[in-house]
């Protein structure tokens, strides 16, 4: 194990982890790393990955005693101040570089790590990342994005709440950032981009989405699908769905709430009699598949797009399995050289 005074260590891939992450703490985050590595090793991978573990040094070192394999590939960086779920956003931002989130984000800024993962307060994490990591030139605001399962596979939706009010130009930037992610990380060739609206006809909606549509029409690098509606998110009509953070947050949470309701309805309908329970037992493997598909933990990990470096937000209430998925997204983003590609694409536009 190395301490914070060791020289920066950067082998093939290093991920900085905010081990405190809201309230989940090193027990969950380090177990999450363990699950991530375990899953990678199943496929003969994961030997190229090191970690920078940030937060309360004593708590992290204590937890690492249970994971000697992780201790060997990790550097511990102590944070003087801890942002918890109770910390007010303003106070959290003020703690800045000295906080668990700040130390983890700084590790990336200083080149000690290639990506950062935190389950801490979204607003504080976004603000600290923006200040320390900066946005890519040409991008005014980072956006919170997420891949969601669809009937056709998976789509990316952004923004999910980082920017409650957006200009048409912001939506254009989201379209560029989303396209780069979909092609580099999701490996979709020429991903289609839809703008979320209340109708698919060009006359529908508000001036912001209409202006954004017209602006994107003039950018041949973006494969514009056109307007999409709420039901198109889960249909997979477009590979990337662009929206302001207010509508995006409401759409995402409406989807999550519907999944919860239907899980509840399934349980109610299918376990009310002995015969129904018996049928479900016979079809158990099918239900296991369905349960896994409907498990929100499978989709944990929302990247902040538009930053010069990679930052991934985990759900604040994540368990180890869920956190391992967020670590996986960060690792995949590093492997795909996403930020370089986004910059290249923006540079192409600038030179026109």
286 lies in the binding site for a second copy (CB under 8 A):
yes
Cα–Cα–Cα angle for 89, 92, 97, rounded to 5 degrees:
145
85 lies in the binding site for a second copy (CB under 8 A):
no
Nearest residue (CB) to a second copy, 54 versus 196: 196
Nearest residue (CB) to a second copy, 58 versus 164: 164
Nearest residue (CB) to a second copy, 5 versus 231: 231
Which of the ranges 20-28, 55-63, 274-282, 330-338 carries the binding residues for a second copy, by CB under 8 A?
A: 274-282
User: The tokens of 291 are what?
Assistant: 């349960």
Fill in the DSSP letter of residue 314.
P
Cα–Cα–Cα angle for 329, 331, 333, rounded to 5 degrees:
70
Element (H, E) at 230: helix 230-235
Count of residues interacting with a second copy (CB under 8 A): 62
233 lies in the binding site for a second copy (CB under 8 A):
yes
Residue 184 to residue 333: CA distance in whole angstroms: 8
**What are phi and psi for residue 242, nearest 5 degrees?**
-105, 135
**What are phi and psi for residue 290, nearest 5 degrees?**
-65, -40
Residue among 315, 336, 311, 335 at smallest CA distance from 324 = 315
251 to 270: interface string for a second copy, x by CB under 8 A: xxxxxxxxxxxx-xxx-xxx
279 lies in the binding site for a second copy (CB under 8 A):
yes
Residue that has been written with the tokens 């790590």 in this structure: 113
Residues 171-200 that bind a second copy (CB under 8 A): 196, 198-199
Smallest separation, CB 258 to a second copy (Å):
4
Instruction: Name which position in 45, 80, 287, 298 contacts a second copy (CB under 8 A).
Output: 287
Smallest separation, CB 234 to a second copy (Å):
4
Which of the ranges 111-119, 130-138, 167-175, 272-280 carries the binding residues for a second copy, by CB under 8 A?
A: 272-280
Smallest separation, CB 277 to a second copy (Å):
8
246 lies in the binding site for a second copy (CB under 8 A):
yes
Beta strands in 174-239 (DSSP E): 192-196, 223-228
Instruction: Name which position in 232, 242, 313, 328 contacts a second copy (CB under 8 A).
Output: 232
Q: Kindly report the number of other CB atoms within 10 A of residue 219's CB atom.
A: 18
Residue 238 to residue 197: CA distance in whole angstroms: 13
Nearest residue (CB) to a second copy, 262 versus 349: 262
Instruction: Name which position in 1, 150, 211, 317 contacts a second copy (CB under 8 A).
Output: 150
68 lies in the binding site for a second copy (CB under 8 A):
no
Cα–Cα separations (whole angstroms), residue 59 to 72, 113, 118, 288:
17, 21, 16, 36
Residue 284 to residue 297: CA distance in whole angstroms: 20
Nearest residue (CB) to a second copy, 34 versus 200: 200
42 lies in the binding site for a second copy (CB under 8 A):
no
Smallest separation, CB 260 to a second copy (Å):
7
Residue 311 to residue 341: CA distance in whole angstroms: 16
First to last CA, the chain: 50
Nearest residue (CB) to a second copy, 91 versus 262: 262
Residues 305-324 that bind a second copy (CB under 8 A): none
Residues that bind a second copy (CB under 8 A): 149-151, 161, 164-165, 196, 198-199, 205-206, 229-235, 243, 245-247, 249-262, 264-266, 268-273, 275-287, 289-290, 293-294
């Amino acid at each position: 194990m190395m301490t914070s005074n060791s020289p920066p260590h950067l082998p093939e891939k290093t991920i900085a982890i905010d081990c405190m992450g809201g309230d989940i703490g090193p027990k969950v985050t380090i177990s999450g790393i363990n699950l991530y590595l375990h899953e990678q090793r199943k496929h003969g991978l994961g030997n190229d990955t090191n970690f920078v573990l940030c937060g309360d040094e004593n708590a992290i070192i204590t937890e690492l005693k249970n994971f000697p394999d992780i201790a060997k590939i990790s550097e511990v960086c102590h944070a003087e101040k801890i942002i918890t779920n109770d910390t007010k956003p303003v106070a959290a931002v003020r703690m800045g570089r000295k906080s668990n989130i700040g130390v983890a984000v700084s590790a990336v800024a200083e080149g000690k790590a290639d990506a950062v993962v935190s389950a801490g307060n979204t607003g504080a994490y976004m603000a600290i990342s923006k200040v320390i990591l900066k946005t890519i030139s040409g991008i005014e605001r980072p956006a919170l994005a997420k891949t969601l399962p669809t009937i056709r596979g998976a789509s990316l939706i952004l923004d999910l709440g980082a920017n409650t009010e957006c200009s048409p130009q912001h939506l254009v930037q989201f379209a560029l950032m989303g396209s780069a992610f979909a092609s580099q990380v999701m490996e979709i060739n020429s991903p289609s981009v839809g703008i979320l609206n209340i109708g698919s006809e060009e006359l529908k909606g508000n001036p912001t989405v209409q202006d954004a549509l017209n602006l994107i029409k003039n950018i041949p690098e973006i494969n514009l699908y056109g307007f999409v509606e709420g039901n198109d998110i889960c249909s997979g009509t477009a590979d990337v769905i662009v929206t302001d953070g207010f509508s995006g947050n409401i759409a995402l949470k409406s989807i999550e709430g519907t999944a919860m309701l239907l899980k509840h309805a399934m349980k109610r309908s299918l376990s009310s009699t002995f015969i129904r329970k018996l049928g479900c037992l016979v079809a158990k493997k099918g239900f296991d598949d369905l349960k896994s598909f409907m498990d929100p933990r499978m989709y944990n990990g929302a990247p902040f797009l538009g930053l010069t470096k990679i930052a991934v937000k985990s759900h604040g209430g994540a368990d180890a399995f869920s956190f391992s998925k967020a670590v996986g997204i960060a690792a995949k983003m590093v492997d795909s050289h996403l930020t370089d590609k986004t910059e290249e694409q923006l540079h192409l536009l600038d030179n026109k």
